[in-house]
Amino acid sequence: MSLHLLELRPIKGFARDDKLNLAVSVARMPDGTTFVVSRYGDVIWDFYPYIPNENRKLCQKRIDWKILLPDGRMLTDPEHAALLESTKDFIWSLFADPVEGRKRPVMNTLYRKIDGIKPLLRWMVSLGLTRFANLAGRTLDFMPQARLGINGKPVADNTVASRLKVIEDLYLQRDKLNDALLVHPWPHETSCSLAGRKGDASDRKPKTEVIPDVVAGRLAEVALDYIRNRSAAILAALQSVYAAVEVQAAAGYGKSVQVKVRTAASREAGFDGTVELTTTGNYLRTACYIIIDMFSGIRDSEMMSIAEKCIAPGKSRDGNTDLLWLHSTIYKTGVRPHKWLVPPVVKEAVDVLTRLTAPLRTKLRLEKAGVEARIGLSIGKEKARLAKRFETVCKHSDKLFLSPSHGNVSVLSGNAMNNDLKRFCAEHGIRGVDGKPYTLHAHQFRRTYARFIARSELGDLLILRNHFGHWSIDMTACYADGGADDYEFDMDLLEMVSAEKLSRQSEVIGNYLDSDEPLANGGHWLKKWRSSVRTAANKEALIAEYAGTITLNGTGHSWCVGNAKGTGCGGLCVFEAQMCVDCNYGIIGQEHRPVWQGIHEQQLEALALDDMGPGGRARAQNILEYAAKVLRRLDGQEAA
């Protein structure tokens, strides 16, 4: 990172010739020296030194000013020189001299701003407007265009808001630019309100679709089959192909001979040819992605930063339980290392993936030495190109999600991974409710994981307290009060799990309050709530109000409302089910019937054993009686 090397004087103060030579991107050479990657006058502003996300394509780390306009010309053509300069001034001002009250944006934000301003530029050109100052009094006329995509179809409200936000920023930056909007674009309104976003509770609802349970189950089944049953044959076949090609390459044979050898080796391993083997290898890589993300819930950018030896053993805080930690990098709120608690199946996937992409890491390390040697002998654009490739090779040489794209090995982009996920579903008959191949997206794993954890019967036990560094996800308030410990928690994921758990809690309590089904234990408070709900003018609102006053914790055989507040048994009922039967803080409903039926049958089997001592027999009899009481109450034969 070399942001401190950039000139941050207000752009309005530069003479035109000096401005054209202004460095907007600087990188470091392997020897520690620096060089200018892009200047203000360049057609492309390349920000690769400042956007570290591994899942971004190189083209997603730069601004290309060759923007196609309605007159058939480019923004970089001489006819639009004034508008190009005004646009560059505006974009750079957001970084060098940010809007008052805002932090300096990262380069990734500048890249995204271009998508927001393109529709405005095209609209201006279609009307013959050449300056932002000409927008005064006409900004509301842009609204219909802001709502349309390139294909003419309506875009999401969030997209509309981001496009209108650009115009607001043109006004807010007016004193820092030679060409800007000098009057407020829409007095008494905001970009969000005009776009249809009023800031109500609906805006805060998660937009990412959860993977349906049936689809998630089938995904896990197929992915595990690849990892546990098919990976050995695939890896062996790939290894035999690599070995055969290396022999031919060492003997000096050209690519045509190597292609024939590769095909023959693939067929000998049981595949139709190189294409089928390569495709199957890609399915295996995708299966590894599915298992790792499904059981960790990390973002795609964090997935793509996974490197060799990323799994490390650990111990729970009490020292009694063996754990596994997945180490990676978080980019969301600043680049920093992080670790996530994962089950053993993630280690299985990582081990397979490590073997699968090992040849590509070897290739990168060999390339690294060659590129470094050539940099010292190069000048100009070739030197800059090699330096850029050298940085990529260095960053990716230990990564696991690699692909030999277009002859250059690098980490998979987010778009490429999403395409692989969709192909995986189509190939293996994983379908949605519409009967079509499920259109799986990488972003869905994170919320699906949060939902799984939140709705798990044992969701507040070991997996959560180690994942987030606290005993319960209901400790969210401690974070807001600065009460977090020294554990680097994933706050975003924590909040996502909390939201999913609150949704599930409202669903559970709502079902109880809006029902007359017998309970084995529901406390006197729940019975009073049922009576109030029956006579309430607004039943739904009252149910939501009641649900928000308690915290549910699942034990598997009951719901507990006491543990999070330090009342009741303090959580011992997880191990002693009978403690819930007459507890005022427990709820035993019809969904718990199978568990208690199983407890009842288990104790009958125990009592039938010949070698059980008096103490064991007395305990089994006691638990049997509690289980029988629960079942009678659930049948309505006995009052709770």
Residue 465 has pLDDT above 50, yes or no: no
Q: How confident is the model at residue 206 (pLDDT cuts 50, 70, 90)?
A: low
* pLDDT score at 629: 92
* Residue 518 Cα distances to 351, 409, 556, 581, 596, angstroms: 50, 63, 19, 14, 15
Give which of 67, 505, 367, 426 is closest to 215, Cα–Cα: 426
Burial 440-466 (b: 16+ CB within 10 A, else e): bbbbbbbbbbbbbbbbbbebbbebbbb
Nearest partner of 281 among 351, 345, 338, 226, judged by Cα: 226
pLDDT recorded at residue 247: 79
Asked whether 326 and 340 are in contact (CB, 8 A), the reply is: yes
Cβ(11)–Cβ(92) under 8 Å? Answer: yes
How many whole angstroms separate alpha carbon 5 and alpha carbon 573?
A: 61
Q: Give the tens place of pLDDT for each residue, 280-319.
A: 999 999 999 999 999 998 899 999 999 999 999 988 766 7
Nearest-5° Cα angle at 145, 143 to 150? 150
Residue 256 has a CB neighbour count (10 Å cut-off) of: 8
Q: Strand 34-39 and strand 553-554: pairing?
A: unpaired
pLDDT in tens, 20-53: 999 999 988 877 788 899 999 999 999 998 888 8
Burial per residue of 597-626, b for 16 or more beta-carbon CB atoms within 10 angstroms, e otherwise: eebbeebeebeeeeeeeeeeeeebeebbeb
469 pLDDT band, cuts 50/70/90, is: very low
Segment 403-447, tens digit of pLDDT? 997 778 999 999 999 999 999 999 999 999 899 999 999 999 988
CA 58 to centroid of chain Cα atoms: 20
Residues 6+ apart with CB under 8 A from 401: 54, 285, 289, 303, 304, 306, 353, 357, 411, 412, 417
The average pLDDT across 462-489 equals 39
Burial 396-420 (b: 16+ CB within 10 A, else e): bbebbbbbeeeeebbbbbbebbbeb
Task: Report CA Rg, the chain.
Answer: 31
**pLDDT above 90 covers what percent of the chain?**
44
Over the chain, what is the mean pLDDT? 84
Q: Is the pLDDT of residue 470 over 90?
A: no
Above 90 in pLDDT, residue 485? no
The owner of tokens 């319960």 is: 472
Q: What is the pLDDT of residue 202?
A: 42
Rounded CA separation 65/83 (Å) = 11
At 118 the pLDDT is 94
Closest CA to 448 of 491, 486, 493, 412: 493
Taking residues 462-473, report their average pLDDT.
41
Q: What are the tokens at 173?
A: 């930056």
Tens-place pLDDT, residues 48-104: 988 888 888 888 899 999 999 999 999 999 999 999 999 999 999 999 999 998 888
How far apart CA 640 and CA 638 sit, in angstroms, is: 6
162: closest CA among 183, 152, 147, 179?
147
Q: pLDDT higher for 595 or 246?
A: 595
State the pTM of this model.
0.74
- The strand pairing partners of 151, in sequence order, are none
Q: Measured at the alpha carbon of residue 541, what is the angle toward residues 540 and 544, in degrees to the nearest 5?
A: 85
Alpha-carbon distance of 206 to 261, in angstroms, equals: 51
- Averaged pLDDT for residues 484-500: 60
Nearest-CA neighbor of 416 among 442, 437, 449? 442
pLDDT at res. 309: 94
521 Cβ partners below 8 Å, 6+ apart?
558, 580, 581, 582, 583, 586, 587, 588, 630, 633, 640
pLDDT digits (tens, 9 = 90+) for 617-636: 899 999 999 999 999 999 98
Considering only CA atoms, which of 592, 597, 518 is closest in space to residue 552? 592
Q: What is the pLDDT of residue 474?
A: 42
Helix (H, G, I), strand (E, B) or coil at 332: strand
Neighbouring residues of 310: CB distance < 8 A, sequence distance ≥ 6:
326, 327, 328, 350, 400
Q: Tell me what the mean pLDDT of segment 179-203 comes to.
A: 78
